[in-house]
Amino acid sequence: MDPEKSNVMRAEDMSSHAEEKGEVEPNVRLDRNGLPLVPAPSEHKDDPLNWSPSLKLFVCLQISWLAMMGPMSSAVINPAFVPLGKAFGITTVQATYEFTIYIVFAGVGPLFLTPFANVYGRRPIYLFGNLLAGVTNIIAGHCTSWSGLLVTRVFNGIGAGSTVAMGGATICDLYFQHERGVYMGIYTFFLTNGPHVAPLIGGYIAQNLSWRECFNIPSYIQFGTFLFSLFFLPETLYSRKTTARADYVPKSKLDLLLFKRNKIAGRKIHWTDFVRPFYMLKYISIFVPALYYMTCFGYGTVLFAATGANLFAEIYHFSVAQTGLMLSIPLIIGCLIGEFNAGWLTDWMANRYAKKHDGVRKPEARLDAIWFALLIPVGVIIEGVVLTHEETASWVGTAFGMGIACLGLQVATTVVYAYCTDCYKPQSAEISSLLNTFRQVFACFISFYAVPLGKKIEIQYAWLIFALLNVIFLVP
């Protein structure tokens, strides 16, 4: 265990024992299990921890939708890589590079926006990121050159990625540690399924309208989301050090919408803030989960998105619409089943451990659920074998393998996000950005080597290599 985290655990341990002996203040608030709330909320009504359950859920669903919108809007075009390539006179594999560029900048871009969110608030970044993504999508839908379209993907990644990178931090703003798994699960379910919902509509849009509408229609949804968020998404950044002053006046709900509590008093942007996420890599409890999660995300979903349009058209002779259905329905079902066995389960494990250990909460208690993530390599292997033996194996086997992999991916995502943010709650924004960067940068290269490697050594052996890599990163 990391030294700093050990200190935190010892402090919590001492606090819980003090409470048992009656040495703590009588107004310490407890959860339904009779354990002290972590973190301890303030007495002010504008503290997000004190908001009503309905308001918290309303905000949770909004930031979950924003996290879904970014990847979804970029992936609507995925089933249409074939007509997209023909339109610009390039190959289908080359057409996937626009998705690759989005992935890179969706991972790197938020690193430059997260420091502003930590000082000036989450709300401005959510609004700016979603608006930038919507504007660049509509520009992409009207591009007449391939280079111009690729430029829009750069800025689209920065905008859409910023709404993704802050979700975990916002969940930590809203919820106590004992209940965080369920709501982190809701957030990660939306996050994971953005690219899965997109092909469901993208195939029909491209087939019945045009590939350009695969950019235009998502932009309209993003503009509508921007207006909704402008009026209904409050600020969740809250400094208990600032509000502890005797002269502090709590903000109203209207103030939280009018940017009247955006800047943390005494905080200024410093150049070191932009590299702070990488500072967290010195902790094993962050570095190892980040490495493992990047392989989960890369081979548990991006592998299918990056290769599906090419392989399904070549092997099964699927139309654009059929490819969209194949890249959507199995993955959504798998993630849905996975989340039913993830968020609540990790909370139950964490609370069970705390009750057995005098109220001490240990983030590692959530990790027992990670074994369900072994379904990722199982699903990848199944898809690889079925694709290789297409003459004797139906496409149903491919869909089954994809669904199994996504079941494991959803469990892995929920466990990793909940565990890492439990370890270092004050750095939850940096951790979310770091996890996003790792998964995006790793995934961006898959379209370059997956199909070529599969054709060289057979798909089943290439997919087996990917599965083994995922298992290797789980071992630590």
Q: What is the pLDDT of residues 49-69, one digit of tens each?
A: 999 999 999 999 999 999 999
Higher pLDDT, 117 or 24: 117
Does the pLDDT value for residue 380 go beyond 70? yes
- 138 vs 144: CA distance, rounded Å: 13
- Ramachandran sector of residue 47 (left: φ over 0; alpha: ψ -120 to 50; beta: rest): beta
Task: Please report the pLDDT score of residue 263 as a whole number.
Answer: 59
Does the pLDDT value for residue 337 go beyond 60? yes
Task: Please report the pLDDT score of residue 37 as a whole number.
Answer: 79
Compute the average pLDDT of residues 13-34: 51
Does the pLDDT value for residue 13 go beyond 70? no
- Minimal CA–CA distance to 312: which of 211, 210, 199, 448? 199
Does the pLDDT value for residue 386 go beyond 90? yes
Compute the average pLDDT of residues 106-125: 87
Task: Please report the pLDDT score of residue 360 as a whole number.
Answer: 80
Compute the average pLDDT of residues 161-179: 88
Q: What pLDDT digit, counting tens, does each position of 206-255 carry?
A: 888 999 999 999 999 999 999 999 999 999 888 777 655 666 677 777 87
The two structure tokens encoding residue 31 = 């959860």
Task: Please report the pLDDT score of residue 19 as a whole number.
Answer: 38
Compute the average pLDDT of residues 285-313: 90
Task: Please report the pLDDT score of residue 15 as a whole number.
Answer: 40
Task: Please report the pLDDT score of residue 391 as a whole number.
Answer: 85
Task: Please report the pLDDT score of residue 156 as a whole number.
Answer: 94
Q: Residue 250: what are its φ and ψ, rounded to 5°?
A: -60, 145
The span from the first CA to the last CA of the chain, in angstroms, equals 13
- 415 vs 319: CA distance, rounded Å: 37
- Minimal CA–CA distance to 412: which of 439, 383, 449, 452? 439
Task: Please report the pLDDT score of residue 162 as a whole number.
Answer: 86
- 372 vs 249: CA distance, rounded Å: 47
Choose the weakest-confidence range: 120-124, 253-257, 362-366.
Answer: 253-257
R_g over Cα of the chain: 23
The two structure tokens encoding residue 394 = 């139906």
For helices 122-140 and 167-174, the axis angle rounded to 10 degrees is 150
pLDDT, mean over the chain: 85
Residues of the chain with pLDDT > 70, as a percent, come to 91
Q: How confident is the model at residue 393 (pLDDT cuts 50, 70, 90)?
A: confident
- 432 vs 122: CA distance, rounded Å: 13
Task: Please report the pLDDT score of residue 10 as a whole number.
Answer: 36
Q: Cα separations (Å) of 77 from 84, 85, 201? A: 8, 11, 9
Q: Give the CA count within 13 Å in the CB-facing half-sphere of 441.
A: 13
Partnered with residue 36 across adjacent β-strands are 30
Q: Cα separations (Å) of 191 from 11, 71, 153, 465? A: 34, 8, 19, 26
Q: How confident is the model at residue 266 (pLDDT cuts 50, 70, 90)?
A: low
Q: What pLDDT digit, counting tens, does each position of 445-461 carry?
A: 887 888 889 989 999 99
CB atoms within 10 A of CB 269: 12
Task: Please report the pLDDT score of residue 339 as a whole number.
Answer: 84
Does the pLDDT value for residue 368 go beyond 60? yes
Partnered with residue 30 across adjacent β-strands are 36
Compute the average pLDDT of residues 131-153: 94
Most trustworthy range by pLDDT among 23-32, 133-142, 418-427:
133-142
DSSP H helices in 301-359: 303-311, 320-326, 329-340, 343-356
The two structure tokens encoding residue 27 = 């107004």
For helices 180-208 and 395-423, the axis angle rounded to 10 degrees is 140
Q: Residue 165: what are its φ and ψ, rounded to 5°?
A: -70, -20
Q: What pLDDT digit, counting tens, does each position of 65-102 carry?
A: 999 998 899 889 888 888 899 999 998 878 888 888 99
- Ramachandran sector of residue 317 (left: φ over 0; alpha: ψ -120 to 50; beta: rest): left
Task: Name, in order, each residue with C-beta under 8 angstroms of 365's C-beta and a sequence gap of 6 or more.
Answer: 349, 350, 352, 353, 354
Compute the average pLDDT of residues 311-327: 86
CB atoms within 10 A of CB 246: 4
- Minimal CA–CA distance to 399: which of 322, 458, 331? 331
Task: Please report the pLDDT score of residue 262 as a whole number.
Answer: 54
Task: Please report the pLDDT score of residue 45 as a whole number.
Answer: 86
Do residues 294 and 442 lie in contact, with contact meaning Cβ atoms separated by under 8 Å? yes
Secondary element (H or E) of residue 438: helix 428-443
Task: Please report the pLDDT score of residue 192 as a whole number.
Answer: 86
Do residues 360 and 9 lie in contact, with contact meaning Cβ atoms separated by under 8 Å? yes
Do residues 349 and 425 lie in contact, with contact meaning Cβ atoms separated by under 8 Å? no
CA angle 340, 403, 365 (to 5 degrees): 40
Do residues 409 and 300 lie in contact, with contact meaning Cβ atoms separated by under 8 Å? yes
Compute the average pLDDT of residues 393-420: 92
Q: How confident is the model at residue 264 (pLDDT cuts 50, 70, 90)?
A: low
- 447 vs 304: CA distance, rounded Å: 10
What are the DSSP E strand ranges found in 31-82? none
Do residues 388 and 315 lie in contact, with contact meaning Cβ atoms separated by under 8 Å? no
- 404 vs 334: CA distance, rounded Å: 6
- 35 vs 17: CA distance, rounded Å: 11
Higher pLDDT, 134 or 362: 134
